[in-house]
Every structure is written in structure tokens, then in C-alpha cells.
């Protein structure tokens, strides 16, 4: 096993080590203190959508175990906690009345982190859209962008004085393509026109929220968390390389382009422009306001080949075989080098600010044996991917921190509770938490920061 103290020497002394969670995945208490349903509450209750018809009603019961869980985070030795705020707790209908009890919960969370010396990295949207907004079309409706702007303003007015950082969205790729084109996530749409409308509304909502946050809390660093895809052609053929470039534009460019260049990719517009919603004058200027940082969520590469089928829909790319060293329990290829080439490629294509790895981790479903969880494969995954982060830093890339996904096992969206990503094991019947072997290693590593005896530049 890599000695965490020796491993620490590969990182600057001010590097941020943290853990990450999301509200719907851990909080539970879906009907408590004025919270109204989100699209994920509805989706979970529809047959055939989520494995085993699991839902977020209890999850990790974090809402009722807040102080214990904050003690657990402190015990993990980390410097920072990345969490998300549930819009349905704050403005339960999406618009209209503000729910003070919802804000009170996050007050306690932020104050609890501060009292324990833990930095707070908040995400405003991690997929739990208030269900009421679906009556107006949800993310396909432009009005939702303005509802989000108001929500951002309300949250920052209340919490912004104690937040170390804020992200507008987590992984818009998922809440756009996975949710409106592929039907795998809530609200379960399978429609390109709906997906394109959701894409532009989401991008606009991001920009409007940046405006609101800068107005209310000008000193809080603002970012956007993107699950950028490392798109690798399945062969050296010209067809596969062209397919990979189209897939890049579709999976990455649809978000990076407007935010960091003020434009949608040309190939994207050529193929899909006639199905796009109206991009109004000034939209792209709002979307492309400068950010202080961006977050990378990385788990697995995307390998693609040209799709030769007649009438194949843009990006006309299909999956290509994996070449990595096996897969995790969720079936995702393990291939750490793709994380490095991805970051290099993104900095080559766009003018990007500082980067934080806001999620990285692996699903392995080991159970308790004699009070211990030996999840060596997860530990190996962390070592490999953190080695890549260290290499990027030594190559001069501005990677400033790393958040392990996840602090604890939780509701893994369409996979329900069958996939475990945690550094900490959760017994969902008793809610007992047990730190896994990987969690103990990560604690040793994170405890070396900030400072320590290693390099500080």
C-alpha cells in the first residue's frame, strides 16, 4: 500500500483535500420542515425508474444526524466539505414562498463546519428540481432560469457570509442529456428538442446565478462543476477520430463552449441548430461571465467509434471497447491516464481558471466482515487517480484541490442503494457508519494538509 505520508509529499502544502456528498443522496427527511417534493421524489416513485424502487425518503438520514456526520467529516481529517443545497427545502414550490426552516438547516450545517475548522464548498443545484416547476416545463422552460437566479440570491443572502466557495450546477451533462435525452435520470424525457431546451435554460440559469451571487456576495469564489468526458477514438481511423471530435462537442462543448467561449460549438449548431430553442440577444454574454474556478468530476473514459447506421443522430458516435484494467462494480472502465489527457485537452481548448477535482471515486460493494471493510480496489483507484492529479500539478496545471466521492455510501440515483461509492460504509437499516480501509488511508493522507513537512510551492 502506498504510504500516505510519502504520497502527501507529491502535493503542495496548501492543496485542499475534501469529501463530497449531495443533498438528495444523503439527507432523507423528504417531507420534514416544509420541504416539498423534487423531480427525484416523483421519479423514484414511478415503477421501473430506480433499481428496487428505492427512494430518498430516508437515505442516510443525514438531516437528523447532522452533528454526528459533521463529526465524522472532521474525523476524516479533511480540510473541506463539498455539499449541495436542496432547492425544495429553500423555496419548496420553486417560486414564491421562502421556507425559513430549510435555510435554518443549512445555517446549522455551515456553522457546524466552521466550528470544526472545515471549509464549506456549496453546490446550488445537484439535480433536485422542485417538482412544482415541472408544471411550467421544468428545465425546458426559460422561466426556470429566472426562478433559479432568485433561489441563488436567497441562499447567498443567508449563507454567503460563511461559504468558502459556491458552484452553480453539478454535472449539467446529467441533468440535460441523461435526464432529457436518454431518460435515465429524472424527469425521464427522451427527446432531443426537450434536451436542447434544457441545455440552454441550464446554461442561462448558470449565468444568471453568477450575476446574482456576485451582486449579493462579491467575495465568494464562484465555479461550475462539469463531468467532462475524456472522449477517446476507438481506433486511428479518420472516421473514428471525427466521431470522437463530434462526441467531444456534444458531451463537453455544449457546456464548456457557452461558458468559457461564449458560443456553442459549430458542429453542434450545424447538426442541431434547427431544433435549438431561441438563443436571445445577450444570453451568451450572461452565460460566459468569468468564473473563479471550475470543478472536474471524473470517473471513467468515454471510448467512441463512428456510428455507420443510416440516419444516425448527431453526434453519430457509438461506444468502443474498453482497454483499461478492469471495471468497477457499476461497470465503469478504470483508466486513470484518461483523466490526465482530458485536463490537458481542456486547457488547450479553453481559457480555464483554477481547477478542483470535485468528484472522483469508485463503486465497490464490499460488505462488513468482522467489523471491517477491506475495499482495497477502491484504495488502489484513489492512489492511481491522485497520482494523475499530482502529475498534473507538477506539469504546471492549476489543480488546487480534490474531493473524494463520496464521504459515505448513499442513494446512487437510478442505481438506488445497490452501488456503494463511500469512504464510509452505511448500514441502511441501522444507519451505523463504519470507515472503510480506503477511508482510513484517505484520512491519513488528508491529515497531512494543510502544511506539513512537504513542499509548499
How far CA 217 is from CA of 66, 277, 403, in Å, comes to 26, 31, 24
Q: What is the DSSP secondary structure assignment for residue 417, as one 8-state letter?
A: T
Q: Is position 66 within any domain?
A: yes
Q: Is position 170 within any domain?
A: yes
Q: Is position 456 within any domain?
A: no
Model confidence pTM above 0.75: yes
Whether 211 is a known active-site residue: answer no
pLDDT of residue 324: 78
Q: What is the DSSP secondary structure assignment for residue 430, as one 8-state letter?
A: T
C-alpha to C-alpha distance for 420 and 427, rounded to whole angstroms: 11
By percentage, how much of the chain surpasses pLDDT 70?
A: 98
Q: Is position 457 within any domain?
A: no
Q: Which residue intervals of 45-90 are DSSP H helices?
A: 66-75, 87-90
Band (107; pLDDT cuts 50, 70, 90): very high
357, 370 in Cβ contact below 8 A?
Answer: no
**Catalytically annotated residue among 27, 171, 245, 333:** 171
Q: Is the pLDDT of residue 18 over 80?
A: yes
How many domains in the chain?
1
Q: Is the pLDDT of residue 292 over 80?
A: yes
Three-state SS string over 235-268 comes to CCCHHHHHHHHHHHHHHHHHHHHHHHHCCCCHHH
pLDDT of residue 452: 53
Q: Is the pLDDT of residue 328 over 70?
A: yes
C-alpha to C-alpha distance for 327 and 362, rounded to whole angstroms: 9
Whether 171 is a known active-site residue: answer yes
Q: Is the pLDDT of residue 130 over 60?
A: yes
**Catalytically annotated residue among 27, 189, 333, 359:** 359
Over the chain, what is the mean pLDDT? 97
Q: Is position 413 within any domain?
A: yes
At 13, list the grid cell: 502544502
C-alpha to C-alpha distance for 99 and 65, rounded to whole angstroms: 21
Q: Which of 238-242, 252-256, 321-325 is predicted least confidently? A: 321-325
Q: Is the pLDDT of residue 138 over 80?
A: yes
Q: Is the pLDDT of residue 457 over 50?
A: no
Q: How far apart are the first and last CA of the chain?
A: 26
Residue holding cell 436571445?
A: 280
- Mean pLDDT computed over 258-277: 98
pLDDT of residue 456: 43
Q: Is the dihedral of CA 295, 300, 304, 309 positive or negative?
A: negative
Render the burial of 355-370: b for 16+ CB within 10 Å, e for the rest: bbbbbbbbbbebeeee
Q: Is position 133 within any domain?
A: yes
By percentage, how much of the chain surpasses pLDDT 90?
A: 98
Q: Is position 455 within any domain?
A: no
pLDDT of residue 1: 58
Q: Is the pLDDT of residue 175 over 80?
A: yes
pLDDT of residue 90: 98
- Mean pLDDT computed over 161-186: 98
Q: Is position 453 within any domain?
A: no
CATH of the domain at 242: 3.20.20.80
Q: Which domain holds residue 394?
A: 4-446
Amino acid at each position: 500500500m502506498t504510504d500516505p505520508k510519502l504520497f502527501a509529499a507529491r502535493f503542495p502544502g496548501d492543496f485542499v483535500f475534501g469529501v463530497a456528498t449531495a443533498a438528495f443522496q444523503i439527507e432523507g427527511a423528504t417531507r420534514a420542515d416544509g420541504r416539498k417534493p423534487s423531480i427525484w421524489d416523483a421519479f423514484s416513485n414511478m415503477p421501473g425508474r430506480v433499481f428496487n424502487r428505492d427512494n430518498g425518503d430516508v437515505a442516510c438520514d443525514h438531516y437528523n444526524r447532522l452533528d454526528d456526520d459533521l463529526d465524522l467529516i472532521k474525523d476524516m481529517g479533511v480540510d473541506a466539505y463539498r455539499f449541495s443545497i436542496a432547492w425544495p427545502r429553500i423555496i419548496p414550490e420553486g417560486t414564491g414562498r421562502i421556507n425559513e426552516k430549510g435555510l435554518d438547516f443549512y445555517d446549522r450545517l455551515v456553522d457546524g463546519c466552521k466550528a470544526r475548522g472545515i471549509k464549506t464548498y456549496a453546490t446550488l443545484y445537484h439535480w433536485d428540481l422542485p417538482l412544482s416547476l415541472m408544471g411550467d416545463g421544468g428545465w425546458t422552460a426559460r422561466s426556470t432560469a429566472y426562478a433559479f437566479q432568485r433561489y441563488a440570491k436567497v441562499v447567498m443572502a443567508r449563507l454567503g457570509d460563511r461559504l468558502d466557495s459556491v458552484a452553480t450546477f453539478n454535472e449539467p451533462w446529467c441533468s440535460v442529456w441523461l435526464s432529457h435525452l436518454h431518460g435515465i435520470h429524472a424527469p425521464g424525457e427522451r427527446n432531443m428538442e426537450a434536451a436542447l431546451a434544457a441545455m440552454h435554460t441550464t446554461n442561462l440559469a448558470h449565468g444568471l446565478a453568477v450575476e446574482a451571487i456576485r451582486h449579493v456576495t462579491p467575495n465568494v469564489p464562484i465555479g461550475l462543476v462539469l463531468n467532462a468526458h475524456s472522449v477517446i477514438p476507438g481506433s486511428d481511423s479518420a472516421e473514428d477520430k471525427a466521431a470522437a471530435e463530434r462526441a467531444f462537442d456534444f458531451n463537453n462543448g455544449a457546456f464548456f463552449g457557452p461558458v468559457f467561449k461564449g458560443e456553442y460549438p459549430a458542429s453542434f449548431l450545424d447538426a442541431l441548430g434547427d431544433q435549438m430553442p431561441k438563443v436571445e440577444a445577450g444570453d451568451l454574454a450572461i452565460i460566459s461571465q468569468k468564473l473563479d474556478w471550475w470543478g472536474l468530476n471524473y470517473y471513467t473514459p468515454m471510448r467512441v467509434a463512428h456510428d455507420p447506421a443510416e440516419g444516425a443522430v448527431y453526434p453519430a458516435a457509438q461506444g468502443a471497447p474498453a482497454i483499461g484494467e478492469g471495471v468497477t462494480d457499476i461497470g465503469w472502465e478504470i483508466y486513470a491516464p484518461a483523466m490526465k489527457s482530458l485536463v490537458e485537452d481542456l486547457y488547450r481548448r479553453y481559457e480555464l481558471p483554477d481547477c478542483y477535482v470535485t468528484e472522483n471515486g469508485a463503486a465497490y460493494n464490499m460488505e462488513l466482515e468482522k467489523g471491517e471493510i477491506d475495499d482495497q480496489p477502491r484504495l488502489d483507484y484513489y492512489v492511481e487517480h491522485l497520482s494523475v492529479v499530482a502529475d498534473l500539478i507538477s506539469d504546471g496545471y492549476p489543480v488546487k484541490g480534490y474531493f473524494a466521492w463520496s464521504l459515505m455510501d448513499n442513494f446512487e440515483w437510478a442505481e438506488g442503494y445497490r452501488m456503494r461509492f463511500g469512504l464510509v460504509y452505511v448500514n441502511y437499516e441501522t444507519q451505523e457508519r463504519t470507515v472503510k480501509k480506503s477511508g482510513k488511508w484517505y484520512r491519513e493522507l488528508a491529515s497531512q494538509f494543510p502544511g506539513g513537512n512537504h513542499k509548499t510551492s
